[in-house]
């Protein structure tokens, strides 16, 4: 009896070990297949967009640091340029109005044609 029980216990241990080995091998195979699953394209696209936006921000910061010295001069130039453009536009509009008024009083054959 005792002998038989010992052998049964040993058999059970071996059986348990085999079960564990089977379980481990199944888990390994699942892990290996998970690497081969196709990646979600949406996630990839989002990551690309995020990286791209981050790179743009980073590049802008670097560029700002490099151009920082000339930045004040550039701003003044652009301000002056805008002012000049605005003045020219206003003057042109005023000229157009004057032309219209002055030509409207003249006879038809003396009017300017655009």
Residue 62 lies in a domain: yes
Which residues have a Cβ under 8 Å from the Cβ of 105 and sit 6 or more positions away?
A: none
Among candidates 100, 101, 102, which has minimal Cα distance to 114? Answer: 100
Enclosing domain of residue 70: 40-106
User: How much is the pTM?
Assistant: 0.25
Same structural domain for residues 45 and 8?
no
Residues 49, 100 within the same domain: yes
Write the pLDDT tens digit of every residue in 50-92. Answer: 666 666 666 666 666 665 555 565 666 777 777 888 888 888 8
Tell me if 114 is assigned to some domain.
no
60 and 102 in a common domain: yes
Q: Based on the structure, what is the number of domains in the chain?
A: 2
Task: Pull the structure tokens for residue 8.
Answer: 């049964």
| Predicted local confidence at residue 95, as pLDDT | 82
């Amino acid at each position: 009896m005792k002998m038989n029980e010992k052998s049964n216990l040993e058999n059970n241990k071996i059986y348990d070990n085999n079960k564990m080995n089977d379980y481990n091998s199944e888990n390994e195979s699942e892990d290996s297949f998970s690497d081969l699953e196709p990646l979600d394209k949406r996630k990839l696209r989002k990551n690309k967009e995020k990286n791209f936006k981050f790179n743009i921000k980073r590049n802008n910061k670097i560029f700002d640091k490099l151009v920082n010295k000339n930045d004040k001069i550039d701003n003044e130039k652009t301000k002056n340029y805008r002012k000049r453009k605005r003045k020219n536009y206003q003057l042109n509009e005023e000229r157009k109005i004057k032309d219209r008024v002055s030509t409207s009083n003249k006879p038809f054959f003396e009017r300017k044609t655009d």
